[in-house]
Structure 1
Amino acid sequence: MFFVLLLCFVLQTHEEQPDAPELMLNDLKAGEESKINCTSSNGYPSPVIYWYMESRNLTMNSSFQTERSENGRWKATSTLTFTPLRHDHGKGLICQVVQPTAPLMSSQNETVVLNILYPPIISLRLLDNVEAVSSMTSVEFECTADANPKVLNFAWYLNRLTLNNSTRHRIILDRLHSKTVSTSRLIINDVLRMHSGKYECHVITVLGNASATLNFSYISDRLPLLFIDQNQTTSSTLFVAWQSGFDGGFQQTFNLEYCPNNTLEKNGECGVTNFTGTSSELDKKGP
């Protein structure tokens, strides 16, 4: 009696298109290294996975693993090591699965929009783009902050003193220009010398705080006021005083011209004297 053993082998030789890629991604933080996985299953033979951020190829920064399942198909996993920057926020990250043996190397893509968290970047400027003004009725500062999550609060200071809404100061808070960029404006009405100094805009966010400063000077274009003190004036002397304007905090020099006995300057008897103070006693011979 003879026994015949028949063996049947099933060989899978035709290509199988893999499943669509699965890309799982949470929020990323700027400057911190992250690992991102992309997986595709049921391919035959094993597919290849590529990474792109818009048109930039990131595949060289990834690792690749394959695993064969019981049905003879392959699961491919690629892990991208990525350190995002603030400017990467809003860009598209693409995981591309390619079946190299399929006609025309068919591919499938999965794209996610990056949400990059970063602390505030802040700038402070005068809207008329000057840092010293004269004879202006109002002036406007603008503070711009780029942060994700967005700014929670703006605060304004002048020479370290908090500014609030009043008859002279008007603060417009949180004008949102985009999902990450917001501004606050400080408007000063009836500008005076007291408004000169260091202005500071301070912002508060979940990921940290930031400040920006700007020096502002109000320069009066009015001539100093001249006073004559009758109590200190005699028949031979004249005591005069004047009120200085604001010149950015620097020491000022004043020119005082004095002509005794009603003489004219052309006679050569008048003189010009420089002063750093705000008063002088004059006699018949001059200051």
Structure 2
Amino acid sequence: MTDTQSGWQYLDYTNISVTAGEPFAITCEASRARPPVVLQWVTTKGLSAVHHNQSDVIQDGSYISRRTLIITPSRNDHGKILSCITSHPEQQKNIRRSISLNVHVLPASVLLFPTGGNQSQSIVIYVQEDSPTSITCKSIGSFPATELSFWLIVDAFERTPIIANVSRLPVDVTISIPCDMFEGAETNITCKTLNGYPAPLIHWYVGSRNLTDNSSLESSLNAANRYDAASTLTFIPTRFDHMKRLLCQAVQPTITSTVVSVKNSMVLNISNFPSATTISFQQQTLPVIGEDFTIECSYSPSSYPRSVQWRHEDIQVASESCTSTSSCTTTIPNPTKYKLMGDDRSTSLTIINLTAVDNGRYACDFLNKSGLWSADETIQVLSPVPPSRVFVSDTQSVWQYSNNANISVTSGEPYNIICGANRARPAVVLEWLIPEDVTVVHQDQSDDIRDGSYISRKTLTVTPSREDHGKILICIASHPELQKNIRRSVSLNVHVLPTSVLLFPTGGNESQSTVLYVQEDSLTSITCKSIGSFPATELSFWFIVDAFKSTPILANVSRLPVDVTICIPGDMFEGAETNITCRALIGYPAPLIHWYIGSRKLTDNSSLESSLNAADRYDAESILTIIPTRFDHRKRLLCQAVQPNITSTVVSVNKSMVLNISSQQRGAMSVMKQ
């Protein structure tokens, strides 16, 4: 386990210092596994926590898995335990890692006043020259006790510490237990305190029972001239101590304030006296016919010897008996139907290839020398259902695109595209197919349970280049209930921003000067030139009156059409006359439209109409009349919108499609647009 603030890796049951009211991110990580480990955080009731989704990154042929928990602790969360549980098919038992919260509370206020005087927040203290003055510094509301020191401020650049023997509570109190606690077995428990003055006393309690006489105490002076103290309690627990609170109290009798001690406590878990056993479903899966399904029986605390038995409608299907953590015997009468895994606090039963016969009540029986505990749950196996919808959208607009739609993206800028599938059981498997040389990052698929089915999403982050214009991205959705996979595709419409924009006298030097010299009452021709954009940039002139006002200057600027589309009214049949329409929008002046099949030019067989739109640009429409032959099948039909008076290297915008010519033998064929 690590935290994002320091990046440190913590040992098991380490104390992590956090500040009350401030968010703190803790990450559970598992490295070099195949397949990825499943990570799950277990938090204490009442703790404010936000669970993030697990990430699985491929590195050197294996997975690095991480799951982050963001907590916002309160003072009442001090000493609470957070546990991360890892499960993997190759582990005989789940691995559990835990940390304890050491919650710090900042002072509500700090007061400086004459000892015995009014405890106000005044910043002025009156003293008499050459006479001793006792001044008290008081911190209110912090936990643990604030470390106080006095400094004499000489000026804004210099201050001098005032050395004083200030009585103070220890900064921190920690309790450590070397191993699990067993009924009747002697256990040494250590309590340590740091930076007290003078050396503190340490008292021990279990519930209201004072056990200080059963402890030892040692103190040492540290480098800060403060005392560190360690006390060891020798303790033989009984079953009656189970779930009672163990308290370590560091006392500073020389302190005259109302707070004279610092405490830390923990709840005792005495093995061989377990609490009630619980059984729970895995949160990430649904019981679907044909799928594997896992239920988990958890018990606390761990104890040995013990045995766990699983029953389906009172028929034993699996059992496990353990004399220690490393010595367990598993019995599964039908190993092709059931699989058993567990750790020292839980056992999970996996039902392989669910069928309707697997409906019914499942019971978990937990037995140790203290008694028998049982819990049960009823499973209703669900029928598989194909997805109701498969779609492509983006995180920027959240639009759902129609199949084969164009998505406008900017060259060099990352863009997130999502493939989604709704209301399926089991979860749909989503896969992106990407052309070569397109820079993409594949995100892990997410499968969320909602109303008894799965909502699946798989995100692709694409960073396109100019060369990726027109390339097609395809998402394939596969599911056991689909006769064939569903494909949804989008085409990249890559926009390239201009590398520069120049404004200069027509025919003059094309420099990047910001000054143009013109003559009053004389016509001046000014050229605005955009370099390096794709498609052609729409240019307009504006006269800047001042910082708050600008006026557009109307000018007839030549430009290519924004979009070219081809429309066929229906299937195309060999020998049957067909009218195909090509539209080009927002060009200036009115563009020309040419037609080609392969290298054969067919423009003479077409008509052309243009109209001025509301933006004072031209929309053009051309209709090609064609009688296709079987030799035209699978050839490329090209519509080319040409702007001959544009002086840049790009003088046309094209749209093409592959012809599918139907005949009696082949039947109807679909049209593939590109």
Q: Which category of TM-score, normalised to the shorter sequence, fits these structures?
A: 0.3 to 0.5
TM-score (norm 1): 0.41
Q: Which has the higher contact order (CA 8 A, sep 6+)?
A: 1
